Amino acid sequence: MPAPITRRPTLRGLRFRYLDWGRAGAPPLLLLHGAAQTAHSFDEVAPGLARDHHVVAADQRGHGDTDWAARYRRDDYVGDIAALLDHLGWWRATLVAMSLGGLNALSFATTYPARVAGLVVVDVVPTIVKEGREAVGKQLSVRDFGSFDEAVAHAHAFNPRRSLENIRERLGHAMRPRPDGRWTYKFDPGVAREAEVGLPALWHRIASIRRPVLLVRGAESAMLAAEGAERFRRTIPGSAVTTVPGAGHSVMGDNPAGFLAAVRPFLARHDL
């Protein structure tokens, strides 16, 4: 599979960056990463999805090589998704979205239902396990490192499922050197301020979704409890839940083969 094309449009006053595995005429898939991540979070699975889809993975506002913004409210992200679909010439698409991206995709589906063909939500529901959230927050609160290798070691200690080589590759897109030689994350720390605003109300809103929906949960996730996944299944009529073994919160990177084995049949079954 050829490498994706990097594109940098200006949308809603911000310079965005996305990766485009173009496949003219194929069903469109928009991939949205989690908080503090980048479009490259999907690098292990995007080529597999692009075999029969037109795949685009975007850096959301305040992440990766997309501009930082003054606000990070849910409706800001929703507006960004609509603007990106317009830019791509996609009236409707299937959204494959993890964590923060998953919450944004769910909100988009309740705001613009006609523009969503289907949803794959990765390891998130509107109730996030407190202990998992606090552990991630603690890990990301350290954002100043003496060297890139120090940052890699810090991330590997938090998620030893990944190889050092894999983490080095991912952080190469998610971090930048400072003028003094130290390293820091690219994401705006202001993203966290409003990441969970309005989540209780989102439970009520998602009950209106009438599109094919798959929730993909990591078997070893600390962020999504089995009870939350079951509530999600009950709340959205016809939705399905699958659990991928050997994966934590970042399912598509922890077990790419397991992720594709769950997602590709769902897309085919619903002709997405």
pLDDT confidence bin for 2, thresholds 50/70/90:
confident
pLDDT confidence bin for 18, thresholds 50/70/90:
very high
Side chain identity at residue 179, one-letter code: P
CATH code where residue 255 lies: 3.40.50.1820
Neighbours of 239 (CB within 10 A): 18
Alpha helices in 112-177 (DSSP H): 130-141, 148-158, 164-174
The parent domain of residue 109 ranges over: 5-143+190-269
> CA 189 to CA 14: how far, in whole Å?
17
> CA 169 to CA 21: how far, in whole Å?
19
* Domain assignment of residue 153, yes or no: no
- pLDDT per residue over 164-192, tens digit each? 899 999 999 999 999 999 999 999 999 98
**Residue 112: predicted pLDDT:** 98
* Domain assignment of residue 37, yes or no: yes
* Domain assignment of residue 160, yes or no: no
Helix (H) or strand (E) holding 7: strand 5-7
- pLDDT per residue over 150-169, tens digit each? 999 999 999 898 888 999 99
* Domain assignment of residue 158, yes or no: no
Average of per-residue pLDDT values in the chain: 95
**Residue 146: predicted pLDDT:** 95
CB 215 within 8 A of CB 242: yes
The SS3 assignment for 16 reads coil
> CA 272 to CA 268: how far, in whole Å?
6
DSSP string computed for 161-177: TS-HHHHHHHHHHHEEE
Query: In angstroms, how far is CA 94 from the centroid of its own chain?
Result: 13
* Domain assignment of residue 167, yes or no: no
The number of folded domains in the chain is 1
> In terms of DSSP bridges, do strands 54-59 and 17-21 run parallel, antiparallel, or are they unpaired?
antiparallel
* Domain assignment of residue 185, yes or no: no
> CA 211 to CA 57: how far, in whole Å?
21
- pLDDT per residue over 205-218, tens digit each? 999 999 999 999 99
CB 187 within 8 A of CB 214: no
- pLDDT per residue over 82-131, tens digit each? 999 999 999 999 999 999 999 999 999 999 999 999 999 999 999 999 99
pTM beyond 0.85: the answer is: yes
User: Does residue 1 register a pLDDT over 80?
Assistant: no
Q: Name the residue among 167, 163, 216, 143 with its Cα closest to residue 41.
A: 167
* Domain assignment of residue 55, yes or no: yes
* Domain assignment of residue 174, yes or no: no
